[in-house]
Amino acid sequence: MSMQDKTVLITGASRGIGAAAAREFAAAGAQVALAARNGEAVAALAGEIGEQAIAIPCDVSRYWEVEGAVAACLKAFGRLDALIGNAGVIEPIAPLSAADPGSWGQLIDVNLKGVFHGMRAAMPVMQEAGGGTIITVSSGAAHHPLEGWSAYCGSKAGAAMLTRSAHLEGQAHGLRVMGLSPGTVATDMQRTIRKSGVNPVSELDWSEHIPPEWPARALLWMCGPGADAHLGEELSLRDPEIRAGAGLE
């Protein structure tokens, strides 16, 4: 699918799914704004992609930084056609009875409030322009509790509801809003999960995780008309029909 002359802002773009998505969208012709806390990493990735990419140091837990990222995107490219809300963390992995309240709250700030911050900053811009696509990278943890993952499961469940709310409010203004649940992906997050030794996910063999390029390709497909039948939904890459639609079968 071509994204020629379109602009995409990706949060958590320094590695994993975010970095793979940056390369995928750029290969499809998009201008990409790469936002992440690790400024050096996104600068290196933007340098790899070339003049159609900009790097934006950004902590999604701080609204003013996300608002600034949207402003930087508009200044560089003049438009914002898609927002990929990908930034997320997994720690703390701990039982509720022993979790550090500060760390627990920081995860919520990133995984849940970060999604809200992206929507809050992008939706007015997209609505004024007559449309746009917002995709939240979700997880099976949004719907299934896992031992030691109270913060992660809670944040992803909240982000899934935010996504549905954004669809409800934005569809009349031309917004296309969806979630993507990729399953387990071969990223650094899985190394952290495995090291924790908590719950069945930590016991999965590395070969059972899909490569980050798969969800990246799915995100690209979701930005096009092929996914219009799924607006407002959370798409799962465990679904053979979704994988086929995204060209992964």
Return the CATH number at 149. 3.40.50.720
What is residue 1's predicted lDDT score, i.e. its pLDDT?
78
Q: Is 62 inside any structural domain?
A: yes
Residue 66 lies in a domain: yes
How confident is the model at residue 53, as a pLDDT? 97
* Domain assignment present for 60: yes
Question: Would residue 1 count as lying in a domain?
Answer: no
The CA-atom distances, in angstroms, between 221 and each of 96, 153, 205, 238 are 38, 26, 28, 16
Q: Which residues contact 95 (CB under 8 A, 6 or more apart)?
A: 147, 148
- Over the stretch 120-168, which tens digit does the pLDDT of each residue have? 999 999 999 999 999 999 999 999 999 999 999 999 999 999 999 999 9
Domain holding 80, by residue range, is 7-245
| DSSP SS3 for 197 | coil
* Confidence (pLDDT) at 81: 98
Tell me the per-residue pLDDT of 163-205, one tens digit each, with 9 for 90 and over.
999 999 999 999 999 999 999 899 989 999 999 999 999 988 8
Confidence category of residue 224, pLDDT binned at 50, 70, 90 = very high
User: What's the rounded Cα separation, in Å, for the pair 122 and 114?
Assistant: 12
In a domain, 29, yes or no: yes
Cβ atoms within 10 Å, residue 103: 14
Distance CA 30, CA 185 (A): 24
Q: What is the pLDDT of residues 87-99, one digit of tens each?
A: 999 999 999 999 9
What does residue 242 show for φ and ψ, rounded to 5 degrees? -70, -45
Strands 31-36, 53-57: pairing is parallel
At 73, the pLDDT band (50, 70, 90 cuts) reads: very high
What's the rounded mean pLDDT across residues 30-46? 97
Could you list the active site residues? Answer: 152
Confidence of residue 249 (pLDDT cuts 50, 70, 90): confident
SS3 224: coil
Among 69, 214, 215, smallest CA distance to 135 is for 215
Phi then psi dihedrals of residue 35, to 5 deg: -115, 135
Q: Are 13 and 35 in contact (CB under 8 A)?
A: yes
pLDDT of amino acid 27: 96
Say how many domains are in the chain. 1
Instruction: Measure the CA–CA gap between 233 and 68, rounded to whole angstroms.
Output: 29
Q: What is the pTM of this model?
A: 0.95
The reply to whether 133 falls in a domain is: yes
The answer to the question of residue 2 being in a domain is no
